[in-house]
Structure 1
């Protein structure tokens, strides 16, 4: 029985392998070992990575500007896509700052904007993958 892509891929690889010179075969082996090592490192990193469902706790530095806050919030909420609507809303808040507003007033608004987008994202994720009742 042929597994999807499995046997066909093996046959294709074996045909290509047979056409290679000994030096090229050594290169293929080194490359395959490199890929395997990368895959293992990625798997280990994924085990220790924070949950993609939760925002990262990146503290605001002292005297943070509105632009720096926007950059921090984008890093803090990697699960939220920077879509046109979010960028438009954030731009309006930054424009408020440029028109004489104070960072101390704009930054909390940016934080609320991202927190609300995160809440919306979580609700959307719950609809996509409903939890299993216990």
Structure 2
């Protein structure tokens, strides 16, 4: 893919990519794929889905990658909209992988974060 000289964001991303080690690059790719897979589906004509008001009981596997943990938590808390603030904080936590945090540590932080988001949602929606 030709990055060209015209887009500073693409250039910055390429510069960051070059500085990452192989494992860090894989983490960045998995996170990018997660962002794409989490986009809302539009134009399907499907009926509106009823969103649960309680977290779903999706157990945490014994071994889980940070990205898989983030996906599981998104499914566990379907009532929490993945808006800019939520995605920004989840991304910040996930980027702990780059600084050496383990998947388990990152998932622990994500669970605390999503639990807090859920409590805020409950207060806002009177549940």
TM-score higher than 0.5 here?
Answer: yes
Q: Which runs of 5+ in 1 are unaligned?
A: 1-41, 130-134
String of CA shifts for 1:85-111, please: whole Å, max 9, x gaps. 010000011101122111121111100
Task: Report 1 or 2 for greater relative contact order, CA contacts < 8 Å, sequence distance ≥ 6.
Answer: 2
TM-score, scaled relative to structure 1: 0.55
Higher helix share: 1
Equivalence for 1:81: 81
SS in 2 for 1:58: coil
Alignment partner, residue 120 of structure 1: 120
Equivalent residue pairs, number: 79
Cα deviation for residue 62 of structure 1 reads 2.0
Which structure has the greater CA radius of gyration? 1
- Displacement of 1:61 in angstroms is 1.4
Aligned partner of 2:14 in structure 1 is: none
Matched ranges for 1:46-65 at <5 A: 52-65=52-65
Higher mean alpha-carbon deviation, 68-77 vs 90-99, is at 90-99
Could you tell me the TM-score, scaled by structure 2's length?
0.58
Q: Return the alpha-carbon distance in structure 1 between the equivalents of residues 115 and 74 of structure 2.
A: 11
Q: Once superposed, what is the RMSD of the aligned Cα atoms? A: 1.9
Unaligned segments of structure 2, at least 5 residues:
1-46
Q: Which residue of 2 aligns with 1:99?
A: 99
**Divergent runs of 4+, >2 A:** none
